[in-house]
Structure 1
Amino acid sequence: MEYRHKTSPSPRKFKVVASARKVLFTIFWDMEGVVHKEFLEQGQTVNSERYISTLRALKLRLRRVRRDKDSILQHDNARPHTSRQTQDALRQLELTTLPHFVYRPDLAPSDYYLFPNSRST
């Protein structure tokens, strides 16, 4: 509601424009660069099954590009990452994980390494 005088013109209504297509981009990287990346198909959501599929693809990629190195994965505490199915898959794939602390903007490395032009000066 808004306060208007009887002779006031009616408020203008702006047209709602559909936003641009949103895309979810999943990326894994290490000190040497990007290891694996995927785009989520339109209309898909990330659930345990989808995340496990991504982890399997990551493991195959790691075997090809980082043969002689140990792999340690750090992911947040989103439901697909912490589900029992995902935890079982991580053990089966022999991917070691590091705990992820409560969200802290100062611990988001992607802000600094993946998008260097967005750094504040």
Structure 2
Amino acid sequence: MILLDILQKGERVNADRCCETFDRLRHAVRRKRPGLLRSGVVLQHDNATPHTAKRTKEGLERLRWDIIPHPAHSPDLALSEFYLFGPLEHHLGGKKFEDEDKLIGKVRDWFSKLDANFFTQNIYSLLSRWQKCIALHGDYIEK
């Protein structure tokens, strides 16, 4: 895990926030994994308005990251939807938290215990999900 960016209560994701997060990610990568940027960055995000806004697109062009196109209404291809939030929800399920800081601490703790293979395997599984989506002409993989 290179960067975990948690919004404060009441904070919204918009184009400015996306660009700030991308900049924080770039700085975190330089600090924690300096050689990673030389091999290029490939970003996948959905078609939410903050991700497709002109300011966000300009910020990504400046960073020179490759963007994987994301078909509209395709939660099957959103990495976070099919491999990240489910296990996190399972980890947190049924627990009560005294306050927001305790919840955030538990989320940070869960992420800190994930090894690189968790991310690598799930990112590589995206290829087969793309192939299924293409074979189904864009229809949902999991109904």
Shared fold (TM-score, shorter chain, > 0.5): yes
Give the alignment of 1:52-91 within 5 angstroms.
52-69=19-36, 70-91=40-61
The range that moved more, 61-70 or 90-99, is 61-70
Unmatched tracts of structure 2, length 5 or more: 91-143
Task: Note if contact 2:46-2:78 (Cα within 8 Å) is conserved in structure 1.
Answer: no
CA distance in 2, matches of 1:108, 1:87: 19
The range that moved more, 44-53 or 61-70, is 61-70
Give TM-score, length-normalised by structure 2. Answer: 0.51
Distance change >3 Å, CA 115–CA 44, structure 1 → 2: same
Deviation of 1:36 after TM superposition, in Å, equals 1.1
Secondary structure of 1:76 counterpart:
coil
Distance change >3 Å, CA 104–CA 84, structure 1 → 2: closer
* Larger CA Rg, structure 1 vs 2: 1
Unmatched tracts of structure 1, length 5 or more: 1-33
Equivalent residue, structure 1, for 2:7: 40
Equivalent residue, structure 1, for 2:68: 98
Alpha-carbon RMSD: 2.0
Deviations 1:35-66 (A, max 9, x none): 21111111111111111111110111122233
CA distance in 2, matches of 1:106, 1:88: 27
CA distance in 1, matches of 2:70, 2:33: 23
Q: Which amino acid aligns with 1:112?
A: Y
Deviations 1:13-32 (A, max 9, x none): xxxxxxxxxxxxxxxxxxxx
User: Pick from 75, 79, 82: which aligns with 1:109?
Assistant: 79
